[in-house]
A and B are shown apart, each in its own frame.
Chain A
């Protein structure tokens, strides 16, 4: 025991577990986590810290960058909202109804997790381009989807689609049907039961799914760039701007934007974790 590093030794004493291998397992976990994730990520902030404050502000919040944030955050917000509403609908239908092909639909909801983003990107573009299956239907109405901010939203809806469904579905499935029956016996109508009993019950899960879908859409790159058109200031998302800066060897500019996006991602992670803690506390209460 005395040869082990002091940290692992200390933790081992504290852990009530008597099973072997805690020290090596935790040691390897921390080492690998540090090498693959933490140290490389810290590089972004080290690089940012090396920049002059004015220089950082100028690069991180240039008009072009601001327009990119607006599109990334705004698009993600709209897409996540659509996904929250559609996600609850899909989860409801999957849990409560039976219809032909339900098993396939059930499995297909995860397609955006499994389909490479580049494939999704070119497929969505093909559909929504002015000469595509849907694009050609919308064009006469004067509605352009591909190569506009609207296209960005479409791609973001695609990548965020499973999140709300997958968080709401289990909650809806475990929903105690007695509660609904109780509400009914107390005189509540179908609509009242949904708004006053079911919705408050699935709200924490829905919000978690919303935040997850938002976070995913915010950082999304592969599926968006094909359909976006990538016009600077109009349909250029923040991740793309990072790549453009990199291709111009403007590492500082790329890093500045990346650090803004990373901070947003961390804040979202904290939000999601507290949402989940809230869910657990409600679940156990």
Chain B
């Protein structure tokens, strides 16, 4: 009977009580897919559609244009600095928080997740208030001849802030779940702290670590609001890819804007694919160890 239905139940749900009638299954699945289609697939299709609206030639020339390439370079640079720093931070924070019990631990976790709750615009604003013309650190940076705002350092700082929690928040629950038995065993066998970290702890959380890095990188390359506030939008100098998209769009150069946007959308798709693959791996790993 159910084989006639185009939405067969999943094998886990062959228990009759848990089975919805076929019409309900079809209706609910249809509604869910329509919602996701409207809000997820259509925008994605629109990006690539609009990018190629003026033909492949226009697409390629929009990407190899010097300002666009400069934006790509700056985006890669910011990510190349922010991701490793936040990776090191994430590992250190997870080691302290997941492997030890100390007062204020819960508060520390909340503080680490703080940047997620802050509007990206405010994440940029805080550095303007520090390093801007009237900023409280402006005298220091000026006397050192450092240009932070409307320059690469500001962009890196804003990127650091918005991507701050990614690795730590991925690692903390994972490392906590792994417990400290293996580390203690390694210690009993004479391993040093670094040995334990690199031979035991990190290999055990490698997929989670990669997962965190992946999300951190996606956000670092795609950040718009925070970077927009500190960048100053100087073409070829302080424009990241998302900012370059905005400028092209505001100049009504839609095809070029969508061409650059399609690169970022491609990055998002790669990220999602890698993320799914990692989730599958972690799922397998988890299933076999418990």
Contacts and interface: CB of A to CB of B under 8 A. Distances in A.
State yes or no: do A and B touch (Cβ within 8 Å).
yes
Interface residues of B, number: 104
Interface string B256-277: 0110010011011101110110
A161 B39 contact: yes
Interface in A20-58: 20-22, 24-26, 28-30, 32-33, 36-38, 40-41, 43-44, 46-47
Nearest to B48: A123
Given A111-B44, A243-B229, A44 B126 contact: yes
Interface residues of A, number: 97
A46 B35 CA distance: 44
Interface in A109-167: 109-120, 122-124, 126-127, 132-134, 157-158, 161
A190 B230 CA distance: 55
A218 interface: yes
A132 B45 CA distance: 13
Contact of A119 (B96, B99, B245): B245
A107 interface: yes
Contacts of A30: 108
Given A36-B160, A43-B136, A254-B125, A15 B100 contact: yes
Interface in B5-22: 6-11, 13, 15, 17-18, 20
Given A92-B28, A114-B272, A255-B129, A86 B117 contact: no
Interface in A71-108: 86, 89-90, 92-94, 96-100, 103, 105-108
B110 A15 contact: no
A118 B245 contact: yes
B96 A26 contact: yes
> Majority SS of interface residues in chain B?
helix
B224 interface: yes
A111 B134 contact: no
> Majority SS of interface residues in chain A?
helix
B117 A122 contact: no
A251 B128 contact: yes
B224 A118 contact: yes
Interface of A: 11, 14-22, 24-26, 28-30, 32-33, 36-38, 40-41, 43-44, 46-47, 86, 89-90, 92-94, 96-100, 103, 105-120, 122-124, 126-127, 132-134, 157-158, 161, 177, 180-181, 184, 190, 215, 218-222, 226, 238-240, 242-243, 246, 249, 251, 254-255, 258, 261-262, 265-266, 268-269, 272-273
Given A108-B41, A113-B215, A262-B122, 5 more contacts: A11-B103, A114-B271, A123-B47, A258-B121, A262-B118
